[in-house]
A and B are shown apart, each in its own frame.
Chain A
Amino acid sequence: MFQEKRPERLIDLNGSRVDGRKLDQLRQIKLEVGILDKADGSAYVEQGKNRILVAVYGPREAHPKHIALPDRAVVRCRYHMAPFSTEERKSPAPSRREMELSKVIREALEPAILSENYPRTTIDIFIEVLQSDGGSRCAAITGASLALADAGIPMKSLVSACAVGKIEGQIALDLSDLEDKYGEADMPVALMPSFNTITLVQMDGSFTLEEFSKSLDIAVESCKQIHEMQKTALKGKYLSIKEEVEEKEESEEAGE
C-alpha cells in the first residue's frame, strides 16, 4: 500500500495546508441519509478520506432481556473499523481504541436521545468505518445522529462533531490523518447545537490554556456549520422522495 511520507512542511508559506486547505477550513463533507434498506435509520458520511456507514435499529425489544432498563431505553453503540480501512490491515477483532470510542460516542449521543420514551427497549447504533482518515470519531457522531433522526427516534437536538488541532504551532480546523500524526495536538468536540451543550471533548497533545480556549470556540463554531449540513442532508432525503413521486405521476399522466 502507498504510504504517505512526512511532508517537509504541514503549512506552506502561503498558509495553505498539505491538502490545500486554509487553517480554518473544513474538509469536503458529504452526508447522505437513508441509504440502507433494512436498517430503521441509516447515514453515510464522507469527510476527507473518511468513509463511514451508520445504521440504527430500534427502539426494539431488548436482547438478552436482562439488559433492559425499566425507565428508559438502553442505547448500544459499536464503533468498528473495517480491516481494509487503514494503511496496514486492521484485525477485525475490536481493539482497545474501538472499545473506548464506542463508549465515548455513545456518551456523546445519549444526552440528545429521549430514551425515557421507550422503556425496556434497545436503540442500537452500528458504525462501520470503511476508510479512516483523521477525525473519524467526529464524522461517526455526525453520521450517527443523522441515522438516529432517520430512524424517527425523538431527539432534543442533532449532535454535530468536529476536531480542532495544532500543527506547526498554529490552531487548525479538522485535522487529516497526516496532520494528526505529525501535528502537536488534536481535540475532538461534539456539540448539541440547539443547546450549546458539549457532549464529547477529548484531547491529546499540548495546548496552553489560551490555545485550548480558542480551539474550543473554533470547534463549537464549526460544529454549528456541520449542523446546517446535517439539516440539509435530512431534508434532502425527503426532497428526493418528493421528486421521485412527482416524476412518476408525470410519466403516468403522460402515459394515459
Chain B
Amino acid sequence: MSLTPQISPMARIEQRTIVDMISRGKRIDERSLTDYRDLKIEVGIIEKANGSAQAFLGKTKVMVGVKVETGDPFPDTPNEGILTVNAELVPLASPLFEPGPPDENSIELARVVDRGLRESKAIDLEQLCVEAGKKVFVVFVDVYILDHDGNLIDASAIASLTALLNARMSNYEIRDGEVVYKPGYKPLPIKNRPITVTIAKIGSSLVVDPCLEEEQTMSARLTAAIDESGRVCAMQKGGMEGLTIEEVKAAVQIASRKANEIREKILEAAK
C-alpha cells in the first residue's frame, strides 16, 4: 500500500526560500535552472563484480555493480538473456532510509532505471542466450545508494550505464548445454546508451537535476530517458502535484537537450 509521505518541518521552512530564489532564476547552489551539478564518474572499483561504477552527482553518491551469471530464461522470451535491476536505499546514505525490505521508492527507482535500459534495448539480450529455452545469461544490475542528496534516478541511471559499459564477461564455450568458461574476457553486447534526465517543477519553473532540498520543495517531477538516436524511450512522472501539458512537453525537450552532455561524460569515463 502506498501512502502520502511525511515532509520534515525543516524542509518546510526551507521551501519558501528555494521557491523565491528559483522564481528569480537562481538556485541555492548557484547553478542555472538547466545545469546539472558537477558529475564525476569512476569505473572498475569492485574487482569481484563483472563491471562497476560510482557516480558522484554533487553530493549524491551511487555505486553500481554488475554481475553476470547463468540462469533459466523466461518462458515468453526463450532465446533472450535477462536484465534485472535492483536498487538498495542503504540506511547509511540518509536519515530518511531505514533497513528492511525494499519500499516503493527503491522499487520505483529500480524500475525507472530498468525501463530506460530495457526499452532502449541497451543490451542485446539475444546475444546472451546460451541454449534457447534452457539456459541464458542473467545480467544483474545492483544499484547501491551511498549518499542521498537528491536526484537518485539520474545518478543511478548514469552509474548503471557506466557499469554496464565497464562490464566484462568471461569467454566461454558450450559443451553439452553447459557453459564452460575459458581464459580471457569480452565486453557485454551493448547496443544503445540511454540517458535519463529528471526535471523538477518548483513554483512555476522547471529545473534540471534537483538536489535534496529542491526535491523536498518540488510539486512534481518528470523523468525522461533519451536514447542515442534522440528518441524518448521511457518516462515517469512523480510528485504530489500535476504538470500542465506545456510543462510536460517542455520538460521532454529539455531532457533531450541535456542527454548528449551526460552521455559524453559517461563514454569518457568508461573508455
Q: Tell me if A132 is interfacial: C-beta within 8 Å of chain B.
A: no
- Report yes or no: A106 in contact with B2, Cβ–Cβ below 8 A: yes
Specify which chain B residues have a CB less than 8 angstroms from the CB of A115 in the assembled complex.
Answer: 4
Q: Would you list 6 pairs from A and B whose C-beta atoms are within 8 A, ordered by A residue?
A: A97-B111, A99-B107, A115-B4, A197-B241, A206-B120, A216-B249
Specify which chain B residues have a CB less than 8 angstroms from the CB of A73 in the assembled complex.
Answer: 4
- Report yes or no: A69 in contact with B248, Cβ–Cβ below 8 A: no
- Chain B, residues 106-139, CB within 8 Å of chain A (1/0): the string is 0110110001001110000000000000000000
Within the complex, the shortest CB–CB distance from B214 to chain A, in Å, comes to 18
- Report yes or no: A102 in contact with B1, Cβ–Cβ below 8 A: yes
Specify which chain B residues have a CB less than 8 angstroms from the CB of A96 in the assembled complex.
Answer: 102, 107, 110-111
- Report yes or no: A201 in contact with B107, Cβ–Cβ below 8 A: no
Q: Tell me if B269 is interfacial: C-beta within 8 Å of chain A.
A: no
- Within A165-199, which residues are at the interface with B (CB < 8 Å)? 187, 192, 195-199
The one of B2, B234, B235, B236 that contacts A76, using a Cβ cutoff of 8 Å? B2
Specify which chain B residues have a CB less than 8 angstroms from the CB of A110 in the assembled complex.
Answer: 4, 240-241
Interface window among B63-71, B143-151, B225-233: B225-233
- Chain B, residues 195-235, CB within 8 Å of chain A (1/0): the string is 00000000000000000000000000010000100111111
- Report yes or no: B4 in contact with A69, Cβ–Cβ below 8 A: yes
Within the complex, the shortest CB–CB distance from A59 to chain B, in Å, comes to 13
- Report yes or no: B232 in contact with A207, Cβ–Cβ below 8 A: yes
Specify which chain A residues have a CB less than 8 angstroms from the CB of B235 in the assembled complex.
Answer: 187, 201-204
- Chain A, residues 144-180, CB within 8 Å of chain B (1/0): the string is 0000000000000000000000000000000000000
Within the complex, the shortest CB–CB distance from B233 to chain A, in Å, comes to 5
- Report yes or no: A74 in contact with B242, Cβ–Cβ below 8 A: no
The one of B102, B231, B243 that contacts A208, using a Cβ cutoff of 8 Å? B231
Q: Tell me if B252 is interfacial: C-beta within 8 Å of chain A.
A: yes
Specify which chain A residues have a CB less than 8 angstroms from the CB of B4 in the assembled complex.
Answer: 69, 72-76, 106, 110, 115
State A205–B156 Cα separation when bound (angstroms): 20
State A162–B230 Cα separation when bound (angstroms): 25
The one of B107, B227, B234 that contacts A100, using a Cβ cutoff of 8 Å? B107
Chain B interface residues (CB < 8 Å from chain A): 1-4, 6, 102, 104, 107-108, 110-111, 115, 118-120, 222, 227, 230-245, 247-249, 252-253, 256
Specify which chain A residues have a CB less than 8 angstroms from the CB of B240 in the assembled complex.
Answer: 107, 110-111
- Within A62-94, which residues are at the interface with B (CB < 8 Å)? 67, 69, 72-78
Within the complex, the shortest CB–CB distance from A183 to chain B, in Å, comes to 12
Specify which chain B residues have a CB less than 8 angstroms from the CB of A69 in the assembled complex.
Answer: 4, 6
Specify which chain A residues have a CB less than 8 angstroms from the CB of B239 in the assembled complex.
Answer: 107
- Report yes or no: B242 in contact with A199, Cβ–Cβ below 8 A: yes
**Nearest CB to that of A62 among chain B residues?**
B3
Within the complex, the shortest CB–CB distance from B80 to chain A, in Å, comes to 14
Additional pairs, 15, CB under 8 Å, beyond known A75-B3, A104-B238: A97-B111, A100-B111, A105-B2, A111-B241, A195-B242, A196-B244, A198-B242, A202-B235, A202-B237, A204-B115, A204-B119, A206-B227, A208-B230, A213-B252, A216-B248
Q: Tell me if A200 is interfacial: C-beta within 8 Å of chain B.
A: yes
- Report yes or no: A203 in contact with B234, Cβ–Cβ below 8 A: yes
The 8 A-B pairs with the shortest beta carbon distances in the complex, nearest first, are A197-B242, A203-B235, A102-B2, A199-B242, A103-B2, A78-B1, A76-B3, A103-B104
> Known contacts A202-B237, A216-B245: does B232 contact A209 (CB below 8 Å)?
yes
State A204–B196 Cα separation when bound (angstroms): 13
Specify which chain A residues have a CB less than 8 angstroms from the CB of B243 in the assembled complex.
Answer: 197-198, 201
Specify which chain A residues have a CB less than 8 angstroms from the CB of B252 in the assembled complex.
Answer: 209, 212-213
State A156–B107 Cα separation when bound (angstroms): 30
**Nearest CB to that of A94 among chain B residues?**
B1
State A199–B238 Cα separation when bound (angstroms): 8
Within the complex, the shortest CB–CB distance from B205 to chain A, in Å, comes to 16
- Report yes or no: A209 in contact with B256, Cβ–Cβ below 8 A: yes
State A115–B102 Cα separation when bound (angstroms): 27
State A198–B220 Cα separation when bound (angstroms): 10
Specify which chain B residues have a CB less than 8 angstroms from the CB of A11 in the assembled complex.
Answer: none
- Report yes or no: A197 in contact with B244, Cβ–Cβ below 8 A: yes
- Report yes or no: A99 in contact with B104, Cβ–Cβ below 8 A: yes
**Nearest CB to that of A97 among chain B residues?**
B111
Q: Tell me if A220 is interfacial: C-beta within 8 Å of chain B.
A: yes
The one of A76, A100, A198 that contacts B237, using a Cβ cutoff of 8 Å? A198
Specify which chain B residues have a CB less than 8 angstroms from the CB of A76 in the assembled complex.
Answer: 1-4
- Report yes or no: B249 in contact with A204, Cβ–Cβ below 8 A: no
Within the complex, the shortest CB–CB distance from A223 to chain B, in Å, comes to 11
- Report yes or no: B107 in contact with A192, Cβ–Cβ below 8 A: no
State A206–B110 Cα separation when bound (angstroms): 20
State A199–B244 Cα separation when bound (angstroms): 9
State A102–B245 Cα separation when bound (angstroms): 23
State A50–B77 Cα separation when bound (angstroms): 25
